[in-house]
């Protein structure tokens, strides 16, 4: 048995509409799609070596490519708990530092996605990259300043409580 | 090509269609039968982008609906809150910011109208937070793949709007 010839076979159902005749004909064709191809004969082969069966959004939602998305959602759930803790037990050191860290984490990725959505529509890619880096620097500075506030001053949760009690 | 395909297309010899070689001029720029599905789609987008065709009106003509309005408000409140935390962090290093805020609050507390202004100022900071939190919970519910039908989206949407107002008023009035 030739093991080299064994490949993953995927079957696709192709529905073709014949022009002029409105009856759809269902055609089943079995297309051999190897998961990974090594482009050995590039002379007449137009398919690039990065060809994959899955579409881009399917690839990005596979488990190993998905960790960023999961981490962001985990951070959001943690932030809910932290903000609740801010009002339930103000002045707690752990609550202060978790709230501040999770807030900056959430803000950073949130604004990053806003920039990624809107900047390329109006500005060149170079400017978009500069603004992304600037936002990273601002985020880090914000985190540092809030940590200093937590350490030296009354703390984030107490400050928020005092603001509402004004 | 399988027999089924040939039988299906047998009647199309006289008709102008992709399989008819006589009409290849019309169709040869439309069909890309090589490459993966993603590559074919990318080529379609790239080709259309090159032609610089005008875009149909979208934001100017689409009727504002609860779904879209809540979504853009979620984004807007998120941006406001991010700006507010950066401003708060910056204010910690500006000397005299806390005293200034305290002075303004004491000044406003004196009069009835001032109390209302203070209430409005506090609501202006509380409502974006509560709205973003409530709508964030709605997003997390969607991420668990539930509540995605149109009726649920509208029900949860109204629930988020009402609860955000109620919670904001609660925070502003109860905290003494």
Instruction: Report the pLDDT averaged over residues B32-44.
Output: 82
Contact assignment for A114 to B78 by CB distance below 8 Å: yes
Which chain B residue shows the shortest CA-CA distance from A56? B38
The band of B13, judged by pLDDT with boundaries at 50, 70 and 90, is low
State residue B63's pLDDT score.
Answer: 94
Query: What does each C-alpha distance from B170 to A25, B144, B164, B167, B176 come to in angstroms?
Result: 63, 29, 10, 5, 11
DSSP lists the bridge partners of residue A9 as A32
Interface test with B, best of A10, A11, A142 (most B CBs within 10 A): A142
Judged against a pLDDT cut of 60, whether residue B28 lies above it is answered with no
Q: What is the pLDDT of residues A66-109, one digit of tens each?
A: 889 999 999 999 999 999 999 999 889 999 999 999 999 999 99
Q: Determine contact, residues A108/A138, Cβ cutoff 8 Å.
A: no
Q: Which residues of B touch A103 (CB under 8 A)?
A: 85
The whole-number pLDDT of residue A75 equals 95
B68: its two tokens: 């879209």
Q: Does residue A14 have a pLDDT over 80?
A: no
Of B54-58, B119-123, B152-156, the range with the lowest mean pLDDT is: B119-123
Q: Quick: pLDDT tens for B72-113.
A: 999 999 999 999 999 999 988 888 777 777 777 777 777 777
Average pLDDT over residues B161-165: 96
DSSP annotation of A43 reads T
Q: Closest partner residue to A27 among B5, B37, B172, by Cβ? A: B5
- Residue B20 has a pLDDT of 54
Size of interface A-B (CB pairs under 8 A): 105
Beta pairing class for A24-32 and A9-17: antiparallel
Shortest Cα–Cα distance, B61 to chain A (Å): 20
Whether this model's pTM surpasses 0.95: no
pLDDT band at B53 (very low <50, low <70, confident <90, very high): confident
Task: Average the pLDDT over A20-37 and give the result.
Answer: 47
DSSP character string of B37-54? HHHHHHHHHHHHHHTTPP
Residues of A in contact with B133 (CB under 8 A): 80, 83
Tell me the ipTM for this assembly. Answer: 0.73
The SS3 assignment for B35 reads: coil
- The whole-angstrom distance between B152's CA and the closest CA on chain A is 21
Nearest-by-CA chain A residue for B16? A19
Q: Which of A38-42, A44-48, B55-59 has the highest mean pLDDT?
A: B55-59
Contact B78, B139 (CB under 8 A): no
- Tell me which of B104 and B2 has the higher pLDDT: B104
- Among chain B, residues having any CB pair with chain A shorter than 8 Å are 2, 4-5, 8-9, 11-12, 15-17, 34-39, 41, 75, 78-79, 81-82, 85-86, 88-90, 92-93, 101-102, 105, 118, 122, 125-126, 133, 136-137, 140, 143, 171-172, 175-176
Please tell me which of the candidates A29, A53, A55 has its beta carbon nearest to residue B2. A29
Partner-chain contact B36 A52, CB within 8 Å: yes
Average pLDDT value over all residues in chain B: 83
Name the percent of chain B lying above pLDDT 70.
81
> What are A101-158's pLDDT values in tens digits?
999 999 999 999 999 999 988 999 899 999 999 999 999 999 999 999 999 988 899 9
């Amino acid at each position: 048995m030739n093991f080299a010839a064994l490949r993953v076979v995927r079957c696709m159902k192709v529905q073709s509409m014949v022009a002029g005749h409105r009856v759809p004909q269902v055609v089943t064709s079995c297309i051999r799609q190897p998961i990974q191809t090594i482009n050995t004969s590039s002379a007449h082969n137009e398919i690039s070596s990065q060809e994959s069966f899955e579409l881009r959004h399917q690839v990005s939602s596979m488990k190993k490519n998905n960790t960023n998305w999961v981490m962001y959602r985990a951070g959001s759930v943690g932030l809910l708990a932290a903000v609740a803790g801010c009002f339930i037990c103000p002045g707690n050191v752990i609550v202060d530092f978790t709230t501040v860290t999770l807030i900056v984490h959430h803000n950073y990725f949130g604004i990053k996605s806003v920039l990624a959505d809107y900047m390329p529509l109006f500005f060149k890619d170079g400017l978009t990259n500069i603004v992304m880096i600037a936002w990273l620097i601002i985020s880090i500075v914000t985190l540092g300043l809030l940590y200093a506030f937590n350490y030296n001053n009354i703390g984030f949760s107490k400050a928020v409580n005092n603001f509402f009690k004004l | 090509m399988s027999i089924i395909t040939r039988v299906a297309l047998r009647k199309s010899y006289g008709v102008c269609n992709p399989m008819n070689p006589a009409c290849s001029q019309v169709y040869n720029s439309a069909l890309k039968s090589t490459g993966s599905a993603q590559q074919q789609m990318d080529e379609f987008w790239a080709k259309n982008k090159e032609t610089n065709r005008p875009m149909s009106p979208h934001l100017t003509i689409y009727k504002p609906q609860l779904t879209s309005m809540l979504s853009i408000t979620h984004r807007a409140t998120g941006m406001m809150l991010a700006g507010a935390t950066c401003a708060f962090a910056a204010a910690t290093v500006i000397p005299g910011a806390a005293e200034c805020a305290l002075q303004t609050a004491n000044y406003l507390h004196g009069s009835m109208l001032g109390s209302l202004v203070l209430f409005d100022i506090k609501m202006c900071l509380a409502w974006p937070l509560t709205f973003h939190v409530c709508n964030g919970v709605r997003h997390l519910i969607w991420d668990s793949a539930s509540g995605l039908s149109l009726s649920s989206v509208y029900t949860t949407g109204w629930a988020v709007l009402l609860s955000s107002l109620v919670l904001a008023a609660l925070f502003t009035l109860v905290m003494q």
